[in-house]
Structure 1
Amino acid sequence: MDPSDNGGGLCNPRLERRVVLLADLQFTNAIRALLGDEAIEPDQAPDARTKPFVKKGIVAGTSLVHARLARAAYAAESIGGRFEDVTGCAPAGGDEACSKAFLTRFAQRAFRRPLDAAELDNLWSVVRLGQETSYERGVTLAVEALLASPSFSYRTELGDAEIGEVVKLSAHEIASELSFFLTDSLPDPELAAAADSGALNDPEELTRQAARLLEKPETRSSLSTTLIAAWGLSNLFGTVKDPGLFPEYTPALQASMFHETELLLDELLWSRGEDVSALLTSRETFVNGALAQVYGVEHTGATPEEFAKVELPADERAGLLTQPGLLAALSRTDNTSVVARGLFVRGALLCLGKIPSPPESLADAIKELLEADMTERERAEARAENATCRACHSQFDAFGLMLENYDPVGRYRDTLDGEPIDSRVDLTSMAGVGGIYTSAVEFADAIAKTDGFAACVTRNLLTYGTDDEGLSTRDCQVQHVIAALPAGERTLPNVVKAIVTSPALTERAKEK
């Protein structure tokens, strides 16, 4: 039985009331939404392509606080020279009514909620302090104080109504959670207005707002990047290959590989509205000249840089699982990696549960095995002969072995060192994926017909939206979302709309 199910068919909240630290990308995007690109130091702007999927390891310690204080100061100072454009007030006019009106609007948008009387009094005190220098300084100092406040860096999930042991989040909390989930930024004016009026407490209005946001290109791009982050594809930019073996593996090729995945997600999930399982079965993709050479297909673009749609060999490629970018990111500098690729399939692709790291006592044996002159299948067989290794590796090595037809940069191959590659694996004993597969293509086509991949996509999106890193596809929070999907319509917009109206987003538990 699911631990969050009380046995009566109810799905109790997994999460207690809390405050949630904004990720660095979200913090930066929120400043940008308030004050424009000028408010962000160019070398301090995070790359959205490499946003972390989870916040594990992020600590609100001294370095983070100092960094955010510095960014708040820079953003406030950026108002200089465009004061009237930003505030609507003349810089030398001393119009107190105008500055108060601007700061009230600014503060409510920055905090994603109305301010109470005490908070406004404190804000005016900051304004008066700054006005000892100048009228303009009073406003910019207040802006800095707002951006440096915990109420800007954190969003709350404290609720405004209690029903038994369940706490219902407020309309403003829901708007903030929804917006950072879908766009990694502040609620837009229409969503904020729905929170102000209380309309967002109505599930129908919440669905309408989600549907509206999903029509925006920036929302679609943000959600696609969230999925890419869940799959770890951003690790591609940190990988290196032996230049003597793979001279073609350049930063430009890495960027092309990443963009290929972006284009495929946009085509399948947004333009066509396909079932999410199409990500595992598509024989179409997008290539520029360099990627066409990796795939061994003709490039039809007008220039080498232009991406063009191509049809891939049906017996060699099947969607995301066989994309060169993913396969390259999951390989070593000079060889493939059955372990890395197998863990990816088990974890990020199917959400079958984490595998513990090997004990320190095996470190020397692992190094020796990696350095041995062996094929990856021979290494897997050696691990299978060690009872300690076998206990874990039996749960994922087979996934990696079926990907041995793809070299360290993702090129397809039938042979290795003159010998045929054996990619056949027996998964009959593994729940949810049982079967004997002769190739990764056969496996991808089979898995696409099950609920496993769709459940994992749902789990990953729900994890990002709620910051619940311990969530499993077996938990009732995920099952509730899947059950709410229209029959046979597991499109990404439908999954997202089912998530945003689910109790997992809108309810929390009282502290025990």
Structure 2
Amino acid sequence: MKLSTRVPDPSVAYERPEVETFTRSKLASRLRGMVACASLLVTGCVGELGDGAISPGGEGNPSGSGDGLCNPRLERRIVLLADLQFSNAIRDLLGDEAIEPDQAPDARTKPFAKKGVVAGTSLVHTRLARAAYAAESLAGRFEQVTGCAPDGDDACATAFLTRFAQRAFRRPMDATELDNLGSVVRLGSETSYERGVSLAVEAILASPSFSYRTELGDGADGDVVKLSAHETASELSFFLTDSLPDADLAAAADSGALNDPAELMRQTERLLEKPETRRSLSTTLIAAWGLSNLFGTVKDPGLFPEYTPALQASMFHETELLLEELLWNRGADVSALLTSRETFVNGLLAQVYGVEHTGADPEEFARVTLPADERAGILTQPGLLAALSRTDNTSVVARGLFVHGALLCMGKIGAPPESVADAIQELLDADLSERERADARAANATCAGCHNQFDAFGLLLEQYDPVGRYRDTVDGEPIDARVDLTGRGDIGGIYASAVEFIDAVAETDGFATCVTRHLLTYGTDDDTLTPRACQVERVIATLPEGQRTLPNVVRAIVTSPALTERAKGN
């Protein structure tokens, strides 16, 4: 039985929220039970997929089957919202006051994949506490939020809770659910009317139907099911904005209009015009590249005293600004992210780059053109290079793995066997250059099989120190960044520098395909996708010739069956 993705019967009680007459302690107990049950249903569906969960449209089979179809990889399932999505949804429902300041997730550090996030005791307790805090935040603004007077009547409470629950659950409420909410209000009203409505709000936010979104389909016959209009609205909104469907999108789902591909595209175009959508999509790519790890890195203060939290924040914001300029303001091909010699620097970053800062004050970010033979796009930005370095030195391994994996999606590399752990540490401790360490790994039969796949990429980046400054020498010795990638397909050749390599990569489809894979992975919560999966190839094939812009990639994903179709399962 594949518990990872299959729901045995879409009509099971779990599909509908579970608002009953209960005290807070009963609410907590019931939610724990529900989430424990739900976790059995979804274990692996937002992390490792179970054996056999990938249907015939998988790796190495672009057509998906002999009849030219690309079959759904994913079966019907229930998907847990990430912490950022959960908090954003509460904020959109009740305002910033509903989020405890020190508990609000930072969008800059959102994880790319939800692998390993499960509905365990810690998550349940955290979400119960956040639901309680959000409900209690109504104190002092009850009438403003609900439209009901503090001593209002049942009709007002019912009207507010119907609107609130429908938006929170991303679907219509039925009569039984509304009756159950009324029971919660009456229970809390034994203390006060305001308390009754607030307790119902807490029950809604504590419900699994708020923490999970469903992908159960429209009930049509056949092996493939289409997501319902409300499920599609949730899928689209959490993909593009990391939050609930807004009023326009929700209305399109309520009316059924979202089932029309033309309306789905209209909604997508509308959302793509919103600054918050653009920021969210840019942050998704930044998360896919692991740049958020920058905030967790440290450097030896004796060697790099300039590496402060302020510099880290500046490095991260540089990448945000470059993505905004290239992808959204200019509508450039995504390959421009690799080749741009323009960027944005404040006073701190100008010192790292060794360029003049022309801003009105040291905090202002100003546009600058970088030396064409030293820098090219995101791969040579100090933030990324610093995040991929050790505390006292660069890291050929970390940088090489990044290029091989996150930048070009060339496949996962397994961890080294434990038997070589001591040898790895000895190599790191040895007084050797990074190239000498790479040569030692290449000479070791155990290590070479893996390291030969990515070390060369890291060696190309040796001309950038642990905080991303360009350099020609290390300890007085000239740096040899030359690598031989002959036989490596589209990127094969001999390169003397990272810039040469980047310019060559930008002429291939590899980076654009990887960007597409990242966005499709995030939109579907399927982190097992590779560029060779037919779902990815199908999206790439529909991109307009010579127009691999990010909005076009998003449009192709939204119209792709991978986003809105699921396998019915057994």
TM > 0.5 between the two? yes
Kindly state the Cα deviation for residue 214 of structure 1 after the two structures are TM-superposed: 0.6
- Percent of aligned pairs sharing the same letter: 83
TM-score (norm 1): 0.99
Residue 221 of structure 1 corresponds to 279
Q: How do 1:1-400 and structure 2 match up within 5 A?
A: 1-2=60-61, 5-93=64-152, 95-400=153-458
Alpha-carbon distance in structure 2 between the residues aligned to 1:267 and 1:101: 44
- Look up the equivalent residue of 1:265 and give its one-letter code: L
1:428 shift after superposition = 1.4
Deviation, structure 1 residue 3: 7.4
Q: Which deviations, in whole Å up to 9, do the C-alpha atoms of 1:202-243 show, x marking residues without a partner?
A: 111111111100110100001100000000000000000011
Tell me the amino acid that sits aligned with residue 39 of structure 1. Answer: A
* 1:470 has 2:489 as partner: no
> What amino acid does structure 1 have at the position aligned with 2:350?
A
Return the offset for 1:486.
Answer: 1.2
The whole-number CA distance in structure 2 between the counterparts of 1:194 and 1:311 is 45
Taking the aligned partners of 2:380 and 2:243, their CA distance within structure 1 comes to 32
2-structure distance, mates of 1:432, 1:330: 25
Tell me how many residue pairs correspond in the alignment. Answer: 511
CA distance in 1, matches of 2:417, 2:146: 59
Deviations 1:383-405 (A, max 9, x none): 00111100000000000000000
Matching residue's letter, 2:459? L
CA deviation profile, 1:145-166 (whole Å, cap 9, x unmatched): 0000000000000001435210
When structure 1 is superposed on structure 2, of 480-489 and 405-414 the one drifting more is 480-489
* 1:36-82 residue CA offsets vs partner (Å, 9 max, x unmatched): 00000001001110000001121210010010000000000111111
SS of residue paired to 1:351 = coil
Cα distance in 1 for partners of 2:220, 2:462 equals: 54
Q: Distance in 2 between matches of 1:82 and 1:446?
A: 58
Name the SS for the 2:489 alignment partner: coil
1:285-309 Cα deviation digits (max 9, x unpaired): 0000110010011100010110000
Distance 1:7 1:421 in 2: 52
Q: For the Cα contact (< 8 Å) 1:4–1:14, is it kept in 2?
A: no
Measured in 1, the distance between the counterparts of 2:99 and 2:408 equals: 38
Cα distance in 1 for partners of 2:121, 2:293 equals 27
The runs of 5 or more residues in structure 2 that have no matched partner are 1-59
CA distance in 2 between counterparts of 1:161 and 1:149 reads 24
Distance 2:256 2:75 in 1: 23
Task: Write the mapping of 1:444-459 to structure 2, written as runs, cut at 5 A.
Answer: 444-459=502-517
Q: 1:16–1:510: 8 Å Cα contact kept in structure 2? A: yes
Aligned equivalents of 1:87 and 1:502: distance in 2?
A: 39
Q: Structure 2: which amino acid aligns with 1:58?
A: V
Whether the aligned pair in 1 keeps the contact of 2:62 and 2:537 (CA below 8 Å) is no
Instruction: Tell me the secondary structure at the aligned position of residue 162 of structure 1.
Output: coil
Matched, 1:490 2:548: yes
For structure 1, list consecutive stretches of 5 or more residues without a partner in the other structure.
none
TM-score, normalization by structure 2: 0.89
- Note the C-alpha offset of 1:511: 1.8
Judge conservation of contact 1:4–1:475 (CA < 8 Å) in 2: no
The DSSP-based 3-state class of the residue aligned with 1:469 is coil
How far apart in 2 are the matches of 1:426 and 1:122? 68
The letter for the 1-side match of 2:108 is R
Aligned equivalents of 1:96 and 1:118: distance in 2? Answer: 16
- SS of match in other structure, 1:204: helix
Paired with 2:419 and 2:489, the residues of 1 have a C-alpha distance of: 30
Distance 1:388 1:118 in 2: 63
CA RMSD of aligned residues (A): 0.9
Q: CA 1:4/1:388 → structure 2, altered by over 3 Å: closer, same or farther?
A: farther
1: distance between equivalents of 2:227 and 2:529?
Answer: 20
State the distance in 2 between where 1:151 and 1:207 align: 27
Deviations 1:460-501 (A, max 9, x none): 001111100100111011111111111111110110011111
Instruction: Give the Cα–Cα distance (whole angstroms) in 1 for the partners of residues 355 and 66 of structure 2.
Output: 55
| Letter of the structure 1 residue corresponding to residue 157 of structure 2 | S
Structure 1 window deviating more from structure 2 (110-119 vs 426-435): it is 426-435
Moved beyond 6 Å, runs of 4+: none
Paired AA for residue 323 in structure 1: Q
| SS in structure 1 of the partner of residue 220 of structure 2 | strand
User: Aligned partners of 1:118 and 1:360: how far apart in 2?
Assistant: 57
CA distance, structure 2, for counterparts of residue 387 and residue 62 of structure 1: 45
